[in-house]
Structure 1
Amino acid sequence: MKFTAIALLNLTRVFRVRSNIFYVLLVPFVMVLMLGLMFGGGQQQRLGVVDEGAGDLGQRLVAALDSADHVNLVPVQSRDEMLAEVERGEIHAGIVLPGDYADAVTGSGADVDFVAREGDVAAAELGSVVRAAVRDEAAVLRAAAFTAQETGVPFEEALDGLDGEVGSGIAVEVETAGEALFPPGIGAFDLSAPPLLLLYTFLTAMTTASALVATRERGIAQRMYASPTPTRTLVFGEVAGRLLIALVQALVIMLGSALAFGVDWGDPLGAAAVLLLFVAVGGGAALLVGGLARTEGGAGSLALLLGLGLGVLGGTAIPLDGFGETMRMWAHVTPHAWGYDAFAALVRHDAGIVDIAPQLGVLAAFAAVLLTAGTLALRRSMVR
């Protein structure tokens, strides 16, 4: 069929440019690797510690934090120095152990200050670790104090008995409720691959918009239109070409990251649905820009601006989880944010296709609007 030949010709034209092979096949994997190391699970998170004289009991809390996975403790001399290091990003967060920390034993309590930058994903994870360690240690100290009071043994002896799980017979059980932002065991690349799939699928599709303008400027569209080929065949061929290019880019990232980095994309049916709908979104946007743009350079500039701008706003460069409430609201004017939410549910929380139905519905609406508007704009530009 002619429209199939046109679609395949569009795909061939993309890979005839050798630089496109580099950008389509290599760059996405380099970015998956880099963002996986920067934002993915498994990297060391630096926690500053200021000890204002908490004594041996304070050192117990420090030891508990030091035993946590992926936490690197950094001794800091003063509260002001710690604040400066958090602001500069030298440490992800910090805690201050007060001089009256031992008062926690008597029941009057002591405050352990936790300092972090708002919106820092690593700091949010550290906050969970610190809260859990403080809660667990406070429970043990209070249990030891109760044992000492009831039995008359020295506090230190009661505390040693609890640590050794002998003597007092008191068991401390701690349960954590709620859903973690990054579940245990998730890989670093499981977090970085999905947003980059969204970014590069959309961007690659958008950069082909200039080819539509070039086809008109060089008279190729006019010669095709003058041939005994129906206009709808020409239009559908160009539409299929944009979709095919976006699909190839998406599959390269999804399958390649699964093989190279072991990325688990979750429910296959759900992942396929998100991928296909986002391919339609990217293809429709490329058609719209290519149909409306007057010059090849203008189409290329607009495509690059929208491809990168919408991607960054939608959380594909900086994790959407680190956005504030207002920024998250604005992010969801883009299809990227809805795709991000869908993949987050699939990859992190074992969701199925039914669980991401709202996100799929929004992506389907984006795809329908963009494909319809893009097809009409392309047809109008071809017969103009």
Structure 2
Amino acid sequence: MLMAGLNLRRMFRDRTNLFFVIVAPFLLILVLGQLYGGGQQLRLGVVSGPGAAAERLAGMLGSGGRVVVERLPDEAALRTAVERGRLHAGVVIPGSGPVRHLVRANDHRSHETGAWVRSIVRQEAARGQSGLEVRVTTSGTTPFPEGLSAYAISAPSLLLMFTFLTSLTAALGLVETRARGVTARLSAGPTPLRTIVAGEAAGRIAIALFQSLLIMVGSMALFGVSWGDPVGSLAVVTAFSLVGGGAAMLLGASFRTPGPPISLALVLGLGLSAMGGATIPLESFSGTMRTLAYLTPHAWGYDAFARLIRHDASLMGVLPQLGVLLAAAAVLFALGVWRLRRALSG
């Protein structure tokens, strides 16, 4: 525990870490939350049939400041505009029969219009306009449930990215202690080698846990993000922190000078995050890219959080993802401990 606290204090001696560890994650959650739809206007295409009821409903759909309505000539043009992303969603209002709401299954903002459309239809039905009902049409299953906060999409992804990136960049501390001969002096003294190795491992885990818990608690307080089942979410955070700590242990034990590990930390931290769906939602990946994404721990963490936050899964529902993350952590720590013991005894 002493060495874990020492590693945390060492990380914050560099004032720039205060920004990148504490401030930057929340700025990006805010920016990406806005990008995913928080506060942005929704573009809704409308094809209106004949009749006063249909025309009134079309006008009411554009009555709020959140939704901008664009009229289209027919359903084919509407479907094309929605599929290509020019419109977030579409509504077909026939002269008689149900109202059809067209959405894209992989677009969070597309599904935000559903609540608005249904609320307007209910209002019009209450006014005595008979025969109005909504039929929602999607292609496949929706990964973004209705009402999901845009920040609940960005926060888990950025937790994964920053936890891994901060862990890798903090591996520089292990390189510096070895370069200055601190660990060599400790190992030459009465302190057992296993105690030194365990302390360094605890320090790597402490940094990863600090970063991930900071983002989790901060996003709840600042953006109202719900992380789902608390036991499941804490288990995922712990497992992914172990992965980050193990990767940092291996990286820090493999080099004697700070240049290479810093470069590798940035390349691996950002590259694996992008590949694993921590910068662009995994649902937007093609089939091949999505398969490759699961070669990274980020994709397994992303999948676990998606189940917990979007689909109300419990700890039992994310056991496969936890198993993969813990296995990856075990391999990384085994290699890191082996490499550090070899470096200290050599």
Q: Percent identity?
A: 46
Q: Say whether the 8 Å CA contact 2:178–2:256 is kept in structure 1.
A: no
Match of 1:246 in 2: 208
Alignment of 1:105-116 (within 5 A): none
1:18 and 2:4 correspond: no
Q: Report the residue type matching 2:306 in the other structure.
A: A
1-structure distance, mates of 2:291, 2:72 = 37
Q: What's the RMSD between the two structures over aligned residues?
A: 4.0
Q: Say whether the 8 Å CA contact 1:198–1:316 is kept in structure 2.
A: yes
Equivalent position SS for 2:68:
strand
Change (3 A) 1:70 1:323: farther
Match of 2:307 in 1: 345
Change (3 A) 1:224 1:161: closer
Q: Report the residue type matching 2:319 in the other structure.
A: A
Q: Say whether the 8 Å CA contact 1:92–1:123 is kept in structure 2.
A: no
Q: Which moved more, 1:316-325 or 1:239-248?
A: 316-325
Structure 1 residue 288 displacement after superposition: 1.0
1-structure distance, mates of 2:147, 2:262 = 41
Match of 2:107 in 1: 121
1-structure distance, mates of 2:136, 2:182 = 68
Match of 2:68 in 1: 72
Change (3 A) 1:95 1:29: closer
Alignment of 1:24-39 (within 5 A): 24-39=21-36
Instruction: Flag structure 2 segments of 5+ consecutive residues without an equivalent.
Output: none
Match of 2:273 in 1: 311
**TM-score, with length taken from structure 2:** 0.81
Match of 2:321 in 1: 359
Q: Report the residue type matching 1:371 in the other structure.
A: F
Equivalent position SS for 2:148:
coil
2-structure distance, mates of 1:284, 1:359 = 17
Instruction: Flag structure 1 segments of 5+ consecutive residues without an equivalent.
Output: 138-159
Match of 2:166 in 1: 204
Structure 1 residue 15 displacement after superposition: 0.9
Change (3 A) 1:96 1:357: closer
1-structure distance, mates of 2:40, 2:49 = 29
Structure 1 residue 11 displacement after superposition: 1.2
Structure 1 residue 6 displacement after superposition: 2.1
Which deviations, in whole Å up to 9, do the C-alpha atoms of 1:96-121 show, x marking residues without a partner?
99xxx98x97x9xxxx9x898xx962
Equivalent position SS for 1:355:
helix
Match of 2:284 in 1: 322
Structure 1 residue 212 displacement after superposition: 1.6
Structure 1 residue 175 displacement after superposition: 8.2
Change (3 A) 1:67 1:375: farther
**TM-score, with length taken from structure 1:** 0.74
Equivalent position SS for 1:315:
coil
Q: Which moved more, 1:367-376 or 1:56-65?
A: 56-65
1-structure distance, mates of 2:150, 2:44 = 20
2-structure distance, mates of 1:247, 1:333 = 23
Q: Which moved more, 1:196-205 or 1:208-217?
A: 208-217
Match of 1:44 in 2: 41
2-structure distance, mates of 1:54, 1:210 = 66
The number of equivalent residue pairs is: 336
Q: Say whether the 8 Å CA contact 1:47–1:74 is kept in structure 2.
A: yes
Which structure 1 residue ranges, 4+ long, deviate > 3 Å from structure 2? 40-43, 53-71, 74-80, 82-87, 91-97, 122-126, 160-166, 170-180
Equivalent position SS for 2:5:
helix
Q: Report the residue type matching 1:16 in the other structure.
A: R
Structure 1 residue 18 displacement after superposition: 0.9
1:164 and 2:128 correspond: yes
Which deviations, in whole Å up to 9, do the C-alpha atoms of 1:235-274 show, x marking residues without a partner?
1111000000111111111111111222111111001100
1:269 and 2:231 correspond: yes
Question: What is the aligned counterpart of 2:180 among 215, 218, 225?
Answer: 218
